[in-house]
Chains A and B, each alone.
Chain A
Amino acid sequence: MNVLEIRNLSKKFGDFIAVDNMNLSVREGEIFGFLGANGAGKSTTINMISSLLRITKGEIRLLGKDIVKESKFTKMNIGIVPQDLAIYEEMTAYENVSFFAGLYGLRGALLKERTEEALEFVGLGDKHKALPKSFSGGMKRRLNIACAIAHHPKLIIMDEPTVGIDPQSRNYILNSVRKLNQMGCSVIYTSHYMEEVEEICTRIAIVDHGKIIAEGTKEQLKSIITDTKETWISVKNADRLDLDALKQISGVNSVRLEEQTVKIVSRGEINNLNWVIQVLIRDQVEISSVEEQAPNLETVFLTLTGRNLRD
């Protein structure tokens, strides 16, 4: 059964089309990765699912019900973890969770129980009396999650929940997502960290210019680009590199420079490494190592959209 179904969804801001006839479904019990570069239409879509933005055309159904016509039902069953921290600094952790849970109709003993449960879940049970201003970035992110789950939503939308936090908190949050999923929650997960998406998502959609350009499991996505290969060449004096010359080599799809590594995606059937090395030698670029990479989500994304996720 589909928890979420998006049909022919469009959103216009004046003449600008932010989401263009999008179709998408999220199945019950899955962690759905939603990938897209900045401005691809990802946040607009999420805001429409969360009823924060009016739909221009199409429909969104949550658990079979139209989110516009059944707004209250929809909101009761969705939990939002926004990218920006949405907590009150002057209220304690307990008061924050309790207040937001109260907006979903929880009161009395049940409210207390769910608040404590949510705080325990994110590992802040012993900090319930503390003010968020005394928290680290990671703890605030965890509190941000607790505020979204105390009412036991069926679908949780997590928008960049691990931005700017330490590895320990990041692991804690990723484990929490897995646990929530095991408890029966479906999750829509967006992140700029491709390895996170690859690690926890069961299915992934890539959105670009307001459209879904690919959708499937990570294996299915990688299979899309078996006809390409990626070569990483570490160099010592990258400033001498002529990237345009590399792009003009036969079979090269894209070239990018990350710190001192040149990453070249080429068509799989063409062996153009000699030509690449000749260009580097001509430019007097000193080569440290050459590696051929197995396809990953990053490559898939780059191949399909022509840009990095962080662009």
Chain B
Amino acid sequence: MNNILWIVRKQLHSTFRKRSSWIVYFGLPIAAILLSMLIYGSSSGGTLNVGVLNQDGDKTLTQDAIHFVEELNNVKITVEDQASMNKDIASGKLDSGLIFEDGFADSVRNGQPAHIRIVSAKGAEVTSYVKALLEGHIGNVASIGQATKNDADAFDAIYADYKKSSFKFDSESLEDTAKFKDMTYQTIGFLLMFLLFSAVNMSSLILKERENRTFLRLLSSPLSARGFVLGNVLVTFIIQVLQIVVTLLVLKYAIGIDSGVPFGEMLGTLLLFSLVAIALALLLTAFSKNSRGANAMQTLIITPTCLLAGCFFPAEIMPDTVQKISSFLPQHWLLDTITKLQDGQAIGSLGLNLAILVAFAAVFTLVAIFRFSRNNDVRQFI
């Protein structure tokens, strides 16, 4: 055991004395967080830009309706003409456009609201908020119109009272967690790839040790081949724990993104994946003749499987066949677990997902051990 710890100490020392290791192990996951922010952070700024086109003149009801929209939280209005509104909506400068057509005020006054349109290139996601509240306001005013039945004086008197009425209106903004969930998903996707690469780096290190002949000197010491491999597994696990913890802490405390999953559950799930990654690295070590072979295999395996499993973009947007293939990849099950945890499912109810990840780790490890043990030459143990 002492010798295994001695190996761990040496490998950690050798690894972290190199500046490039800090960049690879910690810089890249942090860069992945920033990239996720860039991808999802700009998709919604929290304020709706609404263009207003008034074709109904200076009528009080129309002006009041425009003022109502202007007063809404997180809405910024711009008065536009027809041409500029179309251009700004098309370019994305405006989220939606509100068109008060000629006759709007009269229709409300008559209790039959019409001649108002809301247009957008982004769909209901950006129109529903303004539409719902404005409908409420117009509906109230139209109710007065219906009650007064073309009696203009009565309408004006009741409408004046309605405007003066003091409503207690508490407004509270809720955080848009969907965006944070997307950022977390994307960050975890990248992190999985980095975890796989850092685990497979262990294969290269072990195989280089053999190529450099230091492995023979190590094995002629009281250190066993199994102890050597175990030492390297421990080193990789320690590095991966650090990678995961640093990424999650930066995500939560430095960037302020709430993943929607308790820290412990997120850490535990990712550590389980870390074991899968290490097991895969052992498998590559067992089947690679040299470090160049291992590097080639890692390129052939990691990037395509991450792509198929949905590490770079959500799997739902991929064709059904690809989604089915991704079920055979451990990354898919980890991402699925994280998504379900974000959706509020308890970790206890995700036993199947976790069992599949454990199974991946177990199968990879057993095949690697079988391969190692078939060799009668101790020098070729790895």
Question: B164: shortest Cβ distance to chain A, in Å?
Answer: 81
Given contacts A84-B213, A88-B214, contact A52 B222 (CB under 8 A): no
- CA–CA, A105 and B218, complex, Å: 13
A53 to B219: give the CA distance in the assembly, Å. 10
Please give the number of chain A residues whose Cβ is less than 8 angstroms from any Cβ of chain B in the complex. 27
Q: Do residues B214 and A103 form an inter-chain contact, with CB atoms below 8 A?
A: no
Residues of A with C-beta under 8 A to B318:
none
**Set A90, A102, A103, A148: member contacting B14, Cβ < 8 A:** A90
Query: Which residues 190-248 of A sit at the B interface, judged by CB distance below 8 A?
Result: none
Name the distance in Å between B245's Cβ and chain A's nearest Cβ: 27
Q: How far is the CB of A104 from chain B (nearest CB, A)?
A: 6
Flag if B219 contacts A52 (CB, 8 Å).
Answer: yes
Which residues of B are found within 8 Å of A72, using beta-carbon distances? Answer: 222
For the A-B complex, the count of residue pairs with Cβ-Cβ distances under 8 Å equals 60
Contact B220 A51 (CB under 8 A): yes
Tell me whether A47 is interfacial, beta carbon within 8 Å: yes
Question: Could you mark each residue 254-270 of chain A with 1 if its beta carbon is under 8 Å from any beta carbon of chain B, else 0?
Answer: 00000000000000000
A75 touches B222 (CB 8 A): yes
Q: Are A53 and B221 in touch, CB under 8 angstroms?
A: no
- Known A51-B219, A52-B220: A103·B377 in contact at CB below 8 Å: no
Contact A87 to B214, CB < 8 A, known contacts A54-B377, A102-B6: yes
Q: How far is the CB of A83 from chain B (nearest CB, A)?
A: 9
Smallest CB gap from B10: residue in A: A99
B251-273 interface (Cβ within 8 A of A)? none
Are A100 and B217 in contact (CB-based, < 8 A)? yes
Partner of B220, one of A75, A84, A87, A102: A75
Say yes or no for B299: interface residue by CB 8 A criterion. no
> CB-CB contacts of A141-154 with B at 8 A, as 1s and 0s?
00000011000000
Q: B63 at interface (Cβ–Cβ under 8 A)?
A: no
Chain A min CB distance to B291 (Å): 15
- Contacts of A85 on B, CB cut-off 8 Å? 213
The CA of A148 and the CA of B10, in the complex, are separated in Å by 18
Which residue of chain A has its CB nearest to the CB of B227? A103
Cβ-closest chain B residue relative to A76? B222
Chain B residue nearest to A72 (CB atoms) is: B222
Bound complex: CA A88 to CA B217 (Å):
11
Contact partners of B6 in chain A: CB under 8 A: 99, 102-103
Q: B212 to chain A: which residues have CB within 8 Å?
A: 86, 88
Q: Is B3 an interface residue (CB 8 A)?
A: yes
Q: Tell me which residues across on chain B come within 8 A of A51, comparing CB atoms.
A: 219-220, 378
Q: Which one of B10, B214, B216 contacts A52 once the chains associate, using CB atoms below 8 Å? A: B216
Complex Cα distance, B378 from A51, in Å, reads: 8
Q: Any chain B CB within 8 A of the CB of A91? A: yes
- List chain A positions with a Cβ less than 8 A from chain B: 47, 50-54, 72, 75-76, 78, 80, 82, 84-88, 90-91, 99-100, 102-105, 147-148
Residue contacts A-B, CB under 8 angstroms, 30 given: A50-B220, A51-B219, A51-B220, A51-B378, A52-B219, A52-B378, A52-B379, A53-B378, A53-B379, A54-B376, A54-B377, A54-B378, A72-B222, A75-B221, A80-B216, A80-B217, A82-B213, A82-B217, A84-B213, A84-B216, A85-B213, A90-B14, A99-B6, A100-B217, A102-B6, A103-B6, A103-B218, A103-B221, A103-B223, A147-B217
Q: What 6 additional pairs, Cβ within 8 angstroms, besides A99-B6, A100-B217?
A: A75-B222, A78-B220, A80-B216, A86-B212, A103-B221, A105-B222
